[in-house]
């Protein structure tokens, strides 16, 4: 794969994708948090047991994988018709009070202590239900 671009807030030009990018084992987004990853493609409206979901592919060769997401912030970036693939970025956990979410950041963004604490908070609370 060539012409990998770094994630920036400005949308970039579109490049064509391939269904072969999704012919792989799927991962959990948890394994990608606070790591620089090359995201290669997106597929929307994938039917699953849990309804229609968005699938994001990443990595190359034997290391390629994909994960399902319902994160609005992630989907806003990867589903933007002007988004170029592949691109490098870091997914970080962001907190909104007692809630958490995911957001793309530049691959040059440092991983702070706050980023680690947000990820730890997310892991401790991701299975708790609001009652």
Using alpha carbons, select from 105, 86, 70 the residue that is nearest to residue 17: 86
Q: Output the pTM of the full model.
A: 0.79
Q: Tell me the two tokens of residue 87.
A: 């691109």
The predicted pLDDT at position 1 comes to: 54
pLDDT of residue 19: 54
- For position 21, what pLDDT does the model report? 55
Query: Is 1 within 8 Å of 40 (Cβ atoms)?
Result: yes
The pLDDT value recorded for residue 44 is 92
pLDDT at 27: 85
pLDDT at position 9 is 56
Q: How would you classify the pairing of strands 87-96 and 99-105?
A: antiparallel
Per-residue pLDDT of the chain (131 residues; tens, 9 = 90+): 567 777 665 444 334 445 555 666 788 899 999 999 999 999 998 888 888 899 999 988 778 899 999 999 999 999 999 999 999 999 999 998 889 999 999 999 999 999 999 999 999 988 765 54
Report pLDDT for 20. Answer: 59
3-state SS, residue 23: coil
> Which pLDDT score is estimated for 15?
43
């Amino acid at each position: 794969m060539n012409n990998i671009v770094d994630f920036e807030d400005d949308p970039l030009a579109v490049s064509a994708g391939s269904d072969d990018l999704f012919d792989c084992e799927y991962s959990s987004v948890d394994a990608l948090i606070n790591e620089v990853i090359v995201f290669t493609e997106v597929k929307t409206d994938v039917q699953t047991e849990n309804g229609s979901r968005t699938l994001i592919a990443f990595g190359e060769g034997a290391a390629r994988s994909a994960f399902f997401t319902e994160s609005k912030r992630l989907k806003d970036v990867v589903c933007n018709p002007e988004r170029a693939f592949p691109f490098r970025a870091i997914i970080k956990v962001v907190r909104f009070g007692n809630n958490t979410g995911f957001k793309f950041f530049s691959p040059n963004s440092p991983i702070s202590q706050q980023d680690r604490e947000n990820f730890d908070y997310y892991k401790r609370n991701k299975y708790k239900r609001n009652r």
